Amino acid sequence: MANFETIATAQRAEEPLPSGRLSIRHYQAIHHHLFQDVYDWAGKFRTVRLSKDESAFCYPENIVRQMHVLFATLRGPKQLRGLSPDTFVITAADFLSTLNAIHPFREGNGRTQMSFFALLAEQAGHPLALERLEPERFLSAMIRSFRGDVKPLATEIRRILE
């Protein structure tokens, strides 16, 4: 199953991502696009509790509310546009850290986060050089951000800015 998921999502990732307003629905559409060939629930928020390495993600009954709180930071005409690179990096690290802690889907959160973040960064005028992303370093930084230390994540985001 894992092999099928990897192949199917890689093929979908080569296709254009759904367009949208960088909203919750847009985020769900990206997840659906990437995972539609693998999961019936692609694009739908999870209804089960999840944890990883003794850390619990947002309880399912709180996902919608927490997503609305988080995505309210992207509303309006700016959506992180006009920020200096340093301010963008810190703001983006906070956003990604919170999004990861919410973990709205049963699977595929990381790939959806990065696809959405690439669109967000591009539209904000801070495109990413994803070829410079080092997955293990980025994952380690995401884990540290989950535990309250967003500085390593900000550093990793800074490294992949064009």
Q: Is residue 96 part of a domain?
A: yes
Residue 91 CB: number of other CB atoms within 10 A?
A: 16
Q: State the residue range of the domain holding 113.
A: 45-160
**Number of domains into which the chain is organized:** 1
Can you give the pLDDT at residue 156?
98
Can you give the pLDDT at residue 2?
79
Q: Is residue 17 part of a domain?
A: no
CATH of the domain at 131: 1.10.3290.10
Q: Is residue 7 part of a domain?
A: no
Q: Is residue 77 part of a domain?
A: yes
What residue type is 43 in one-letter code?
A: G
Residue with tokens 């994803």: 130
Can you give the pLDDT at residue 72?
94
Gap between the Cα atoms of 70 and 36, Å rounded: 25
pTM score over 0.85: yes
Can you give the pLDDT at residue 77?
61
Tens place of pLDDT per residue across the chain (162 aa): 778 988 999 999 999 999 999 999 999 999 999 999 999 999 999 999 999 888 899 999 999 999 999 999 888 668 899 999 999 999 999 999 999 999 999 999 999 999 999 999 999 999 999 999 999 999 999 999 999 999 999 999 999 999
